[in-house]
Structure 1
């Protein structure tokens, strides 16, 4: 996608967002979605970095919403609408929310959310943005770290930060907060500064919910039906093999294997294909 088409894409998103009924009450923007009203307060957002573009929203989720997601209940329409309001990216461009659970010593190695192969870009294109929602506090460790971020050398960190967090610009997990960062530059090229990982949990446990958003509509059902008809059994993420090796098939079965008639993204690596 060239820069001209990319700007056109964002203009389309803006026009679509204008079609959503909204009203301003003080500093609170209420996005109307059907019969529900989803509060979005821009004063809660703080810019963390421009390289990568990263922002933190304090109190994005209520405590009840955090607990609600941990139970893996799929009734998350209000949260989806709030994410769309914040990112200005349509709901249909997003993948299903992924719930992650980290216990003592568990971590996630630094990686990119954009793709390195053309096959994964066929459905929805690159992942343009990631919203990482923290569902629990962590007593020690578990920070999200950006090793290549521009602020990695200037961020002030005391003894309350883990050794891992000091390897880059880091964000502490706070229950209810949401971290938004972009994997693509405004000209649609990939941003290597978006490299990120999850530091090991030192004390306590960490629950988080990840929302990946693509540049185009992400209709996974069409691709799954096409592959099923052809008798194919493939992974839908290039990281599946590594995740399976790290035990994610058992730790995160909903995403990896699937549940409730919805197939997971890594069925081949988890060896559950029929």
Structure 2
């Protein structure tokens, strides 16, 4: 999303560079035309005499004329080659190859993000296609070509539940657009659409609809490789005992139930703010002013308790606007796709980290020694938490992209997770606590949720959500499994501060009880 803000400027620059390229290219073509015209006129004045030989067919050639002819042809050739090889598109090609420009993978990622937002926030795909995002103002409606891209992305990922929804919307939009957009201006054909719809219907257990679209495909493109599925779908219907008469009017209702387990349904409900906490539980939570150190007596911290066990609080206004904008400014140029631990790593030659669809964000790291603001935040964190930052990790800056999210996970190393344990550098111990700074405030979505606690914390700029990942005994607290919900509207900047066990021995002493 940080890069998306610059795309408007990028597009303006692209238009300017294309116009410049066209001017230069037209000038080059004019010089080629002028060169050929000059040579044509020169050829008309070449004498056709027996002395030249070429024109008369005489095998005897005057050596002077031969020299002049060869020289003229070589000069013409070199002049023309020079003009043809003149690369007026160099700057434009360089600009188009720049990493700032989106690629096909970004289109597919954006399409997948729309599907994620559709599910998480229970949005109707038809409303999204018409430019409605929940209760917010309507934006640009999508064309049939746009909705096909979303449907095809789902189809290519074998997500036939979403593919069927969006491909059917594409068919409806095509019918409405009939006569306003020729097929050659689309990225797909009607044969492709019928083929994908037919297979998606088959996968979602709608054999009658699969057969109907397969027949429609066969009617417009009998040589299509998928046209032969007519017999297969007919056999499936016959074996099922269906009494469908083959007409569009009597097709049974489409079955397309979302394939999803209860864990994700709980996660998505929390992302929408549907908390499980009772009024009594909520009434026990409270806020206070923290003034337990000399620093905090001068600058009290507003603290909101959001959970007693495990202990989790929100430090309100722990950062200033100047600090958050400074950190975002220095982080933006260095952002790279966020990686996760490669749990399937088989040998040391394989990458320890990898990209994953369950974590969509870009991040980078800031060291206390590199920037005074980063160092100041670490000291402030130590004041409010009472923990040492000596073994804490660098401040991780993260920007969540379109529909950016991080599915349920643990911050600390759990006993059976060898790869995470390696990542956390056991010389410093496990991640005893997490500080999550909110450096922007999305218009909608982007909450941090804890599944087992039934807790959702929605980002407020300049606040910090802090919680303990392990019990005082050092045993991982499995209740801290949490997730970053997709951003529905706006963008989400966060900074993570992971605090390790070493150095906390006298600040958070071990308890004899494993559950404290």
Q: TM-score range, shorter-chain basis?
A: 0.5 to 0.7
Task: Please show how residues 1-274 of structure 1 align to structure 2 within 5 Å.
Answer: 40-42=299-301, 44-72=302-330, 74-75=371-372, 76-116=374-414, 117=418, 118-119=421-422, 120-149=424-453, 152=454, 169-216=455-502
Instruction: Report the CA distance between 1:93 and its aligned residue.
Output: 2.2
Checking the alignment, whether the CA contact within 8 Å between 1:131 and 1:212 is kept in structure 2 is: yes
Query: Counterpart of 2:436 in 1: which secondary structure?
Result: strand
Alpha-carbon spacing, 1:29–1:39, altered in 2? closer, same or farther (3 Å): farther
Instruction: Report the CA distance between 1:27 and its aligned residue.
Output: 6.6
Q: Deviations over 1:167-209 (max 9, x none)?
A: xx10011110110010011222111111111000000000011
In structure 1, what is the Cα distance between the partners aligned to 2:470 and 2:480? 8
Query: Counterpart of 1:93 in 2: which secondary structure?
Result: coil
Checking the alignment, whether the CA contact within 8 Å between 1:93 and 1:124 is kept in structure 2 is: yes
Q: Deviations over 1:127-172 (max 9, x none)?
A: 00000000011100000010111xx1xxxxxxxxxxxxxxxx1001
Checking the alignment, whether the CA contact within 8 Å between 2:293 and 2:383 is kept in structure 1 is: no
Bigger strand share: 1
Checking the alignment, whether the CA contact within 8 Å between 1:30 and 1:40 is kept in structure 2 is: no
Alpha-carbon spacing, 1:145–1:183, altered in 2? closer, same or farther (3 Å): same
Instruction: Report the CA distance between 1:28 and its aligned residue.
Output: 5.0
In structure 1, what is the Cα distance between the partners aligned to 2:450 and 2:461? 20
Q: Deviations over 1:50-72 (max 9, x none)?
A: 23211001111011111111123
Q: Deviations over 1:52-103 (max 9, x none)?
A: 2110011110111111111236331211101011111112121000000012
Instruction: Report the CA distance between 1:31 and its aligned residue.
Output: 5.5
| Gaps in structure 2 of 5+ consecutive residues | 1-288, 332-370, 505-516
Alpha-carbon spacing, 1:39–1:130, altered in 2? closer, same or farther (3 Å): farther
In structure 1, what is the Cα distance between the partners aligned to 2:442 and 2:298? 26
- Which has the larger Rg? 2
TM-score scaled by structure 2?
Answer: 0.31
Query: Counterpart of 1:138 in 2: which secondary structure?
Result: coil
The corresponding residue for 2:368 is none
Bigger helix share: 2
Q: Deviations over 1:211-235 (max 9, x none)?
A: 00000159xxxxxxxxxxxxxxxxx
Mean CA deviation greater in 196-205 or 87-96: 87-96
| Gaps in structure 1 of 5+ consecutive residues | 1-25, 153-168, 219-274
Checking the alignment, whether the CA contact within 8 Å between 2:291 and 2:297 is kept in structure 1 is: no
Instruction: Report the CA distance between 1:122 and its aligned residue.
Output: 1.8
In structure 1, what is the Cα distance between the partners aligned to 2:406 and 2:468? 18
Question: How many residues are paired up?
Answer: 170
After superposition, the CA RMSD in angstroms is 2.4
Alpha-carbon spacing, 1:90–1:138, altered in 2? closer, same or farther (3 Å): same
In structure 2, what is the Cα distance between the partners aligned to 1:38 and 1:67? 27
In structure 1, what is the Cα distance between the partners aligned to 2:435 and 2:290? 22
In structure 2, what is the Cα distance between the partners aligned to 1:145 and 1:204? 18
